[in-house]
Structure 1
Amino acid sequence: MPVPTPRPDARPSAQPTARPAALWNDRQFLLLASARTVSVLGNGFARVALGFAVLALPGATPGRLSLVLACQALPQLVFVLLGGVIADRLPRARLMVVADVVGAAAYAGLAALVLSGHAPLVAMCVLAVVAGTATALFSPAMDGLVPLVVPADRLQQANGLLRVGTSTSLLLGLSLSGVAVAWLGAGWALAVNATSFVVSAGLTARLRVSGRRRAKTTSGWDDLKEGWREFASRQWLWVVVAHSAVVVAGLNATVGVLGPLLAEEHLGGARAWSLIVAAQALGTVAGAGLVVRVRVKRPVLVAVLATFPAAVPIALLAASAPPWATAVAMCCSGVTTTVGAVLWSTTLQREIPEEALSRVSSYGWFGALGFAPLGLLVAGPVADAAGLREALAGCAALVALAAAAALLSPQVRRLASAEPSASGRPAERAVRAARP
């Protein structure tokens, strides 16, 4: 495993005695956190609204719902590597603004179609593709921007605080989305999401991140190959990404297709399902608050172990458990998956050189989203053919088996926490401990 090198453009480390809350006094971090919080608030509305908007269309079927959601997920997979290359070449904050504007246009178009009462399936699929493309541009840039905004020794605190804000806003969005869909209609809920992207773009545009200038003489293809070498040289990295591909496919099929179908048929519709998903968001708030304070010796191992509870609420849905039991399991799953996600993001930002971080992140997104469109696309037809509860049971089994398989990797089990020294260099002991 290659020895991580220090980032020359990293901001000086904060004093070890500084409290985590002091990050909120940093204007740059506050702008970034505010932009993400507002954007995720709108996404909370869209997560429920888009599914029920499609189901409300004349002649709606589970297959049509799968198609629209797959059209949103597929561009995230196809264009995320390009997004990583662009984010490592251009100012990341500027790229995020462009992505927010594109996303706003896509959701505004979806809202207009639904509100007009004339929403052709082809038009909705096209706009879903545009929305997915915006996400593909945004995600690698966001992952690479955080280390440029906060000091190296505050990354876990920053990632945790970002999760607190975004999880809280997601909880609020999900809690209100069911009411908005029931009272106002799915079109207005989609319009709220479009507005949130506009506000996020305005806040991100005010970020001033200095000290990152790279003279690029290589081609985009060479950049991709360099990013692949950084990615493939770390066993812990590609093993967890492969595990995530299966987990994300199962979770997306459940939350995007199978869960809304079960809610529509047996739980009373959008209100009941939004409450169940909101319980997961409540857990993510608690998990984000917890991970700001915890320190673990084996962050990647903990991140993988944290995915096991995600299978429990899916299994409860398959077993026709009471909605309150599923909601409790969703809440616990939200706690563990958020702790794992923050530990994973922080490890990535500390172990990967800054100049390649967005490209490596894009390979991570590419792998993690690899099966997501397929999961969304086949979820509806599989539910029709095998049965809704049988499809949910299959998703639960896939999530658990993927997590178990990832634990077979020696580096996943052994990679030690790489706390930066005063110069920002991760400790050498973490590198030695990661070697099989």
Structure 2
Amino acid sequence: MHDYRSDVGILRDRRFAFLFSARTLSMLGIAFAPVALAFGILDLPGATPTTLSLVLAAESVAVVVFTLAGGVIADRYPRHRVLQAAEWVNAVAHVGLGLMILGEQAPTWALAGAAAVSGTATAMVWPALTGIVPDVVPAAHLQQGNALLGLGGNIARVAGLVAGGVVVVAVGGGWALLMAAALFAVGGLLVSLLALPRARADEAVSGTILGDLRDGWQEFRSRQWLWVVVVQFSVLVMVWQAAHLVLGPVVARQELGGPKAWTAVLTGEAIGLIVGVLIAMRIRPRRPILAVTLLSFGAAPPYLLLGGSAPLWLVVASAFVLGVCFDLFTVLWQTTMQREIPPAALSRVSSYDALGSLMLGPLGLVMAGPAAESFGPHPALIACGVVMVLTTLFALSFPGVRSLTAPPVAPAGGATSPGLPATPGSQP
């Protein structure tokens, strides 16, 4: 019988402690920076909401465009060096953004260029991070390792959102961006101390980038459970972004009391994310992909309730459940993918996972406003919730999703069995 003390025991491992600390600091910077960037840009002379949109769009496009390249690079080179470089490039980009805002000499093209550099660095992080966890954590403790990384990241996300607003008010967006840069720089330094081997003997890659991408695609498409759930999440994330980032705030502003009400919903979700990680340390489903797909049903209730004019407390409670479901999904999915995908291709497959899951998100944002104006925010929210349910039923109709099984968990400290459990690797 395991307990939480044994789960957190892997923090005593020097390499995992470095990775955990680096990831937590990086997530703190990621949560810290958007508030600083938004208010820093909007406070510039002559800046408009369009200025902010262009800068954020440049970062978002860079993430999408370079995600596949990030997978190839992380499979070709030592993953801790890729993470180190990405963190330091992100630090340099945020130094540039901070100095431009402090000097009030910030043409839109320069801000967008620095944001695109940051987005490119971000595209390198996720494939390398997914691939590096099995290099640092013993196979029998992969789920605990993923859960602890998620716990540190979620706590940092909540702290960063709160601290970012406080620091921006106290010293301004420029200085806040320089603080975020410092967090990225220290995270990169900690990653550099991992001292992993340069490469495994089995990590052969083909001679060309296109060949590497083709091999990664073959690994991705050959597993029904993997591509089906990624297709499911591509649509689910599209309607989730529409509901969560546009339609939900519109209804909160019109009917629930404005920002305070929506902050309560986001707080409920954030607490759920932390609780979800704690549950993920304990749960060991025999059919992990069936479990994560069923957890997807938890995405719909907050938006169905908002669309149906439910009381705020009920929406907050459903947002808490959504947070629990999403973090359980993330940990189980990552662990399964790390155990099912060959190590030599893991980062490339993770990049296809991330790209497929996120590529339709901007379309949801573009469609949300016109849908709210044409049909009203309530019908649009209900439509988003219904689509979430239908996409989950779609995924459950495939035998590969329902039938993938995980072997028994190896005893703590014991040998691991071949063919350990599998979990898909990207965050919705």
> TM-score, normalized by length of structure 2?
0.85
Matched, 1:314 2:307: no
Equivalent pair of 1:174/1:278 in contact (CA under 8 Å): no
Write out per-residue CA displacement over residues 215-271 of structure 1, whole angstroms, 9 at most, x where no aligned residue: 555211111111111111100000001111122223334444455566666667666
Equivalent pair of 1:420/1:426 in contact (CA under 8 Å): no
Structure 2 residue runs of 5 or longer lacking an equivalent are 423-428
> TM-score, normalized by length of structure 1?
0.83
Using the alignment, how far apart are the partners of 1:102 and 1:261 within structure 2? Answer: 36
Of 227, 251, 269, the residue aligned with 1:238 is 227
Of 207, 211, 215, the residue aligned with 1:218 is 207
Of 317, 323, 344, the residue aligned with 2:333 is 344
Using the alignment, how far apart are the partners of 1:125 and 1:394 within structure 2? Answer: 34
State the match for 1:376 in structure 2.
Answer: 365
Write out per-residue CA displacement over residues 167-186 of structure 1, whole angstroms, 9 at most, x where no aligned residue: 11212222334444556555
Equivalent pair of 1:106/1:130 in contact (CA under 8 Å): yes
Query: Pairwise CA RMSD of aligned residues?
Result: 3.2
Matched, 1:278 2:271: no
State the match for 1:137 in structure 2.
Answer: 124
Alignment of 1:380-391 (within 5 A): 380=369, 382-383=371-372, 387-391=376-380
Larger relative contact order, structure 1 or 2 (CA cutoff 8 Å, min sep 6): 1
SS in structure 1 opposite 2:195?
Answer: coil
State the match for 1:425 in structure 2.
Answer: 418
Equivalent pair of 1:69/1:376 in contact (CA under 8 Å): no
| Higher deviation after alignment, 35-44 or 309-318 | 309-318
Matched, 1:42 2:29: yes
Residue 376 of structure 1: how far off its partner (Å): 3.4
SS in structure 2 opposite 1:81?
Answer: helix
Equivalent pair of 2:204/2:344 in contact (CA under 8 Å): no
Residue 338 of structure 1: how far off its partner (Å): 0.4
Distance 1:170 1:406, change over 3 A: same
Of 79, 91, 94, the residue aligned with 2:66 is 79
Using the alignment, how far apart are the partners of 2:75 and 2:342 within structure 1? Answer: 11
SS in structure 1 opposite 2:300?
Answer: helix
State the match for 1:28 in structure 2.
Answer: 15
Matched, 1:105 2:92: yes
State the match for 1:3 in structure 2.
Answer: none
Distance 1:181 1:392, change over 3 A: farther
State the match for 1:149 in structure 2.
Answer: 136
Instruction: Percent identity, please.
Output: 43
Residue 22 of structure 1: how far off its partner (Å): 1.6
Equivalent pair of 1:92/1:142 in contact (CA under 8 Å): yes
| Higher deviation after alignment, 195-204 or 180-189 | 180-189
Structure 1 residue runs of 5 or longer lacking an equivalent are 1-14, 431-436
Write out per-residue CA displacement over residues 183-206 of structure 1, whole angstroms, 9 at most, x where no aligned residue: 655555444432321121111111
Using the alignment, how far apart are the partners of 1:125 and 1:265 within structure 2? Answer: 32
Distance 1:32 1:49, change over 3 A: same
Of 348, 352, 356, the residue aligned with 1:359 is 348
